[in-house]
C-alpha cells in the first residue's frame, strides 16, 4: 500500500451532492460519498432503494444530473483511465446468442489494456489465466459458458473484470440468486482482491459469506444515503429503519427521530 | 465441365467466394446480438435503393449501398432507443422499403424482371466492374469484422461492461449496422435481396451446432458460407434450369439440417453431465441390493457432485459409499 498517502491521493472516488433523475423523475438525491483506496464498501438497501442506480452513476453508465463524480482525481467526463476500473454488471447469465467459451468472456476484460488490432500478448494471456485462478475456474476455461451454473457464470464475470488488472472494482449484486457454495467461492475471490489492495464497491441485498470482508457499509433508502459507517449485519439493514416494507420481518413501529444511526441499538431487541 | 472456362462463370465464382466469406462474418455478430432478422430488414429497405438506381439510371449497386446504410443506421437508432413498440417501427420500415421499391421500379418504366435480378440474384450476369466492387467491399467487411473482433465481440456480449471498459459502444453498434448494410448489397448479386439474410445467418446457425467458442463459430461459419455459395454455384452450373441464388441457400440449409441432430445430441449430453449442486444429501439413504457395479465406462452417465461422482440411471442418482451405494 501507499507509504505516505496524502488525503487527496487516498481518495479513489468522490461524489459531491450528486443527484440522478430518470425520465425527469428524481431517483438519487443529495449523495455525498468518498471512497478511499483499499476500502471494501458494501452498498446495501432494499429493492428499489437506489443502490444499483448509484453504482451506475459511479461508473458513468448513468449521467449524473447535479453535483459531481470524481474518479481518481478526474471528473467523470474527463476520465479515460478505464483500465483502472473493473465492473461486474448485474446479469443473470453471461451467455449470448453464440456459443462463447469461458476464456473468451474473461479475455474481453483485457480490452481496457489492449490496443486496436493487436493480438493477445504474453502478459495478456497471463493476466487472463491469473483471473481464472482467482475465481477457481482455470480448468473450465475451454468450456462453453452455458455449461456453467449461474453461480459459476457470476465468477466468470468477476474474472473478466479482474483480467484488466483494475484498482477499483464495482460489483452489482453478484450474489443474487447464487447458491451457497458459489457464494463462498465468490467471497474467496473477493478476499484475494482485498488482500492485493484493491478497492471494492459491492452492491448486495444480503452479504452472506462476504460479511467478514466488509470495512464499511452504506445503506440506501428511497434514493438517499440512510447510513454510512461501520459494517451492519444483514438483519439490521433490512430492519425497520432502512427496509421499505421488507416482508421477512415483523412490522415494528418506526420512531421518526431522523437519526437512524442513533436509533439502531434501540430497535435491535424487537427482532 | 467446359462451362467453367467462360468468363462469366469465373466472375461468378469469384463473387461467390467473396460474398460467402463476408456474409457469415456479419451474421455472427447479428446472431450474437439476437438480431438475426436485421439482415432481412436491410434487404427489404435496399429494394428501394435498387429502384432509385433504376429510376435515375445510375448504378443500382451504389444507390442500394447508400439506402441500405441509411436504413441500417435508422434501425440501429430505433433499437438503441429501446421503445416498447420498436419492433413495430422496424416492421413499418421493412414494408415501406419493399413497397417503395416496387413502385419506383414501375415509375422508372422498368419491368418486374429487371427488379427480380436483384430480388433473387443473378450471379452469372455480374459485370467485371461489379466483381471488383464485390471483392473490395467484401474485403473491407472481412478485415473490419475479423480485425475488430475483440471489440465487436465485447460490445455484442455485454454493452454495459463494454461501456465501462471505455469502448464507444455507439460507434461499434453503428459499425455493425453499416457492415450489415454493405454485406446485404454485396450479396444481393449472389443470392438476391430476399435471400441475403440466409447467407448471413444459416452458416452461423449451422456452425454453432458443433462449436463451443465464438472464434470457432466465426471461422466455421465462414468456411460453411464459402462452401455453400461456391457449391451452390457449381450445382446450378451443372444442372440446367436451376437458379444459383436459391441453390446456394438450399445447400446452406441442407448443411444445417444435417448438423442439427448432432447439435441436439451434444447439447443433451452436455446437460446430462452438468454437475449437481454441491449440497449434502438430506439423509443417509443406503440401497440394499445393487447388482450392478458402477465405475468408469460402466455405461451410465457419471455426473460430478461435490467431491465425488453420482451415477445416473433410470431416474436414480447413485453414489458409492464404502461397500454399498447411497441414493443422492
- A152 contacts A69 by C-beta, under 8 angstroms: no
Per-residue pLDDT band at B198 (split at 50, 70, 90): very high
Are residue B172 and residue B62 in the same domain, yes or no?
yes
- A60 contacts A226 by C-beta, under 8 angstroms: no
Best residue in B145, B152, B161 for a mutation probing chain A (most A CBs within 10 Å)? B161
pLDDT tens, position by position, B146-158:
999 999 999 999 9
Out of A60, A101, A170, closest to residue B212 by CB: A101
pLDDT tens, position by position, A57-67:
999 999 999 89
Q: What is the mean pLDDT of residues A110-122?
A: 90
Q: Is B153–A108 a contact, with Cβ atoms under 8 angstroms apart?
A: yes
Q: Which residues of B touch A (CB under 8 A)?
A: 28, 31-34, 36, 147-148, 150-151, 153-154, 156-158, 160-167, 204, 208, 211-217, 270, 274-275, 277-279
- What is the tally of structural domains in chain B? 2
What Cα–Cα distance (Å) separates residue A67 from each residue in A76, A105, A201, B163, B186?
A: 11, 35, 20, 22, 50
Are residue B173 and residue B303 in the same domain, yes or no?
no
Q: Is A142–B213 a contact, with Cβ atoms under 8 angstroms apart?
A: yes
- Structural domain includes residue B15: yes
Out of A101, A111, A116, closest to residue B165 by CB: A111
Alpha-carbon gap, residue A76 to A100, rounded angstroms = 32
Question: Residue A227 in 3-state DSSP?
Answer: strand
User: How is residue A202 written as a grid cell?
Assistant: 459491492
- B190 contacts B229 by C-beta, under 8 angstroms: yes
Check whether B1 has a pLDDT greater than 60.
no
Q: How far is B267 from chain A (nearest CA, A)?
A: 9
**Domain A7-268: which CATH class?**
alpha beta
Query: Nearest-CA neighbor of B105 among B56, B67, B62?
Result: B56
Q: What is the mean pLDDT of residues B77-102?
A: 83
Residue A47 class from Cβ within 10 Å (0-12 exposed, 13-18 middle, 19+ buried)? exposed
Q: Which residues of A touch B (CB under 8 A)?
A: 59-61, 80, 82-83, 85, 87, 89, 91, 94, 96-101, 103-105, 107-109, 111-112, 114, 116-117, 142-144, 147, 149, 157, 160-161, 164, 170, 179, 181
Contact residues for A71 (Cβ-Cβ < 8 A; gap 6+): A12, A13, A58, A79, A81, A84, A85, A168
pLDDT tens, position by position, B102-115:
999 999 888 888 88
- Structural domain includes residue B130: yes
* Percent share of chain A, pLDDT over 70: 85
Per-residue pLDDT band at A7 (split at 50, 70, 90): low
Q: What angle do CA A30, A40, A269 make, to 5 degrees?
A: 75
Which residues of B fall within a CB distance of 8 Å from A91?
Answer: 158
Best residue in A78, A82, A90, A108 for a mutation probing chain B (most B CBs within 10 Å)? A108
Q: What is the mean pLDDT of residues B249-274?
A: 91
- Structural domain includes residue B277: no
Q: Is A61–B160 a contact, with Cβ atoms under 8 angstroms apart?
A: yes
Check whether B283 has a pLDDT greater than 80.
no
Specify the pLDDT at position A257.
Answer: 55
- Structural domain includes residue B272: no
Q: What is the mean pLDDT of residues A4-24?
A: 83
Q: Is B214–A104 a contact, with Cβ atoms under 8 angstroms apart?
A: yes
Specify the pLDDT at position A266.
Answer: 47
Q: Count helices and strands (H / E) in chain A.
A: 8, 10
Domain hosting B178: range is 6-197
Q: Is B161–A89 a contact, with Cβ atoms under 8 angstroms apart?
A: yes
Size of interface A-B (CB pairs under 8 A): 105
Q: What residue segments make up the domains of chain A, in order of their start?
A: 7-268
Q: Is A144–B270 a contact, with Cβ atoms under 8 angstroms apart?
A: yes
Domain boundary among B197, B229, B264: B197
The ipTM value here is: 0.85
pLDDT tens, position by position, B111-142:
888 888 899 888 888 889 889 999 999 999 99
- CATH code at B116? 1.10.3470.10
- Structural domain includes residue B209: no
Alpha-carbon gap, residue B197 to A126, rounded angstroms = 39
Specify the pLDDT at position A52.
Answer: 92
Q: Count helices and strands (H / E) in chain B.
A: 12, 5
- A199 contacts A39 by C-beta, under 8 angstroms: yes
Q: Is A96–B33 a contact, with Cβ atoms under 8 angstroms apart?
A: yes
What Cα–Cα distance (Å) separates residue B33 from each residue in A96, A180, B36, B274, B320?
A: 7, 32, 8, 26, 45
Domain boundary among B179, B197, B215: B197
- B161 contacts A105 by C-beta, under 8 angstroms: no
Query: Nearest-CA neighbor of B32 among B189, B187, B190, B162?
Result: B162
Amino acid at each position: 500500500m501507499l507509504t505516505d498517502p496524502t488525503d487527496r491521493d487516498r481518495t479513489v472516488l468522490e461524489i459531491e451532492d450528486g443527484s440522478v433523475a430518470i425520465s425527469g423523475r428524481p431517483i438519487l438525491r443529495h449523495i455525498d460519498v468518498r471512497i478511499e483506496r483499499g476500502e471494501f464498501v458494501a452498498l446495501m438497501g432494499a429493492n428499489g432503494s437506489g443502490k444499483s442506480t448509484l453504482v451506475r452513476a459511479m461508473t458513468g453508465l448513468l449521467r449524473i444530473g447535479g453535483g459531481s463524480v470524481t474518479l481518481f482525481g478526474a471528473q467523470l467526463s474527463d476520465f479515460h483511465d478505464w483500465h483502472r476500473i473493473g465492473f461486474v454488471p448485474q446479469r443473470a447469465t453471461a451467455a449470448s446468442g453464440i456459443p462463447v467459451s469461458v476464456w473468451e468472456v474473461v479475455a474481453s476484460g483485457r480490452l481496457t489494456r489492449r490496443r486496436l488490432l493487436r493480438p493477445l500478448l504474453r502478459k495478456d494471456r497471463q493476466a487472463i489465466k491469473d483471473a481464472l485462478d482467482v475465481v477457481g475456474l482455470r480448468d473450465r476455461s475451454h468450456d462453453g459458458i452455458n455449461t456453467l451454473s449461474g453461480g459459476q457464470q457470476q465468477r466468470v464475470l468477476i474474472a473478466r473484470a479482474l483480467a484488466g488488472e483494475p484498482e477499483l472494482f464495482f460489483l452489482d449484486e453478484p450474489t443474487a440468486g447464487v447458491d451457497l457454495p458459489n457464494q463462498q467461492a465468490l467471497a474467496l475471490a473477493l478476499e484475494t482482491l482485498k488482500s492485493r489492495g484493491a478497492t471494492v464497491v459491492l452492491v448486495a441485498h444480503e452479504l452472506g459469506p462476504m460479511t467478514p470482508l466488509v470495512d464499511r457499509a452504506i445503506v440506501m433508502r428511497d434514493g438517499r444515503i440512510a447510513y454510512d459507517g461501520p459494517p451492519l449485519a444483514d438483519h439490521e439493514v433490512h430492519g425497520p429503519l432502512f427496509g421499505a416494507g421488507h416482508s421477512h420481518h415483523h412490522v415494528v413501529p418506526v420512531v421518526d427521530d431522523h437519526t437512524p444511526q442513533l436509533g439502531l441499538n434501540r430497535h435491535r431487541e424487537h427482532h | 465441365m467446359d462451362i467453367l472456362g467462360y468468363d462469366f462463370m469465373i466472375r461468378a465464382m469469384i463473387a461467390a467466394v467473396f460474398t460467402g466469406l463476408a456474409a457469415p462474418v456479419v451474421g455472427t455478430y447479428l446472431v450474437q446480438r439476437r438480431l438475426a432478422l436485421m439482415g432481412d430488414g436491410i434487404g427489404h429497405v435496399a429494394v428501394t435503393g435498387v429502384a432509385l438506381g433504376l429510376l435515375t439510371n445510375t448504378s443500382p449497386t451504389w444507390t442500394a449501398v447508400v439506402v441500405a446504410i441509411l436504413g441500417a443506421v435508422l434501425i440501429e437508432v430505433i433499437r438503441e432507443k429501446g421503445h416498447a413498440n420498436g419492433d413495430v417501427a422496424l416492421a413499418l420500415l421493412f414494408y415501406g422499403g419493399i413497397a417503395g421499391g416496387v413502385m419506383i421500379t414501375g415509375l422508372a418504366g422498368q419491368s418486374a424482371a429487371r427488379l427480380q435480378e436483384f430480388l433473387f440474384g443473378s450471379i452469372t450476369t455480374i459485370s467485371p466492374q461489379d466483381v471488383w466492387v464485390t471483392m473490395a467491399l467484401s474485403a473491407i467487411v472481412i478485415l473490419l469484422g475479423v480485425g475488430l473482433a475483440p471489440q465487436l465481440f465485447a460490445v455484442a456480449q455485454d454493452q454495459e461492461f463494454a461501456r465501462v471498459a471505455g469502448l464507444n459502444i455507439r460507434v461499434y453498434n453503428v459499425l455493425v449496422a453499416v457492415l450489415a448494410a454493405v454485406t446485404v448489397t454485396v450479396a444481393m448479386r449472389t443470392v438476391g435481396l430476399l435471400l441475403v439474410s440466409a447467407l448471413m445467418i444459416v452458416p452461423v446457425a449451422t456452425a454453432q451446432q458443433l462449436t463451443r467458442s465464438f472464434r470457432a463459430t466465426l471461422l466455421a461459419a465462414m468456411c460453411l458460407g464459402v462452401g455453400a455459395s461456391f457449391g451452390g454455384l457449381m450445382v446450378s452450373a451443372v444442372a440446367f434450369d436451376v437458379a444459383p441464388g436459391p441453390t446456394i441457400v438450399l445447400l446452406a440449409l441442407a448443411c444445417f439440417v444435417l448438423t442439427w441432430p448432432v447439435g441436439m445430441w451434444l447439447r443433451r449430453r452436455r446437460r446430462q453431465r452438468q454437475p449437481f449442486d454441491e449440497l449434502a444429501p438430506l439423509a443417509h439413504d443406503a440401497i440394499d441390493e445393487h447388482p450392478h457395479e458402477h465405475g468408469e465406462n460402466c455405461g451410465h452417465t457419471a455426473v460430478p457432485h461435490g467431491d465425488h461422482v453420482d451415477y445416473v440411471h433410470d431416474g436414480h442418482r447413485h453414489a458409492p459409499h464404502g461397500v454399498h451405494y447411497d441414493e443422492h
